[in-house]
Amino acid sequence: MLAGELERQQQLRTALAADSDSAGLDEKQIFQNYKHLQFCDTLALYFHLRHVGERSDETYIHVPMSREADASITLKKVDETTYSLGPFPFGQNTVTLACRGRYMHPVPAGQEPDDLGAALRARPASNQVFRLVPA
């Protein structure tokens, strides 16, 4: 699996090098972009895998603040819709995230649905909005 992933990454690098819009990217910039993506992905998991009552402080390591420097960023719940980040990794003063989905409540043991996908599709779609602010 690892060999296949390394080959896929090399193919992506080759494609990036051939693309005129991406031709100026070097390995350092590509890795910085990867770490940005990794941070955004784990931040999304924080909101989507935990009920608001279960969210606590979280620290994200190796978040790029520039091409040369990374930081550990601490997220703290201010209230049910506002969360602070320190140091703040975004260029503006606040960031608002809006997510649409179908949200499930915990299912008691022994009451699991036979078809979890159908149970999720049966839930009404709703929105969640979060605001990220500097610590």
The predicted structure's pLDDT at residue 16: 78
Q: Is the pLDDT of residue 124 over 80?
A: yes
The predicted structure's pLDDT at residue 3: 93
* Average pLDDT over every residue of 67-92: 94
Q: What is the pLDDT of residues 3-55, one digit of tens each?
A: 999 999 889 888 877 877 776 777 788 889 889 999 999 999 999 888 888 89
User: Do the beta carbons of residue 81 and residue 96 sit within 8 Å?
Assistant: no
Reported in sequence order, the residue ranges of 1-135 that DSSP labels E, i.e. its strands, are 58-64, 70-77, 82-86, 95-102, 125-134
The share of the chain scoring above pLDDT 90, in percent, equals 57
Residue 50 DSSP symbol: S
Domain ranges of the chain: 25-134
Residue 64 identity:
P
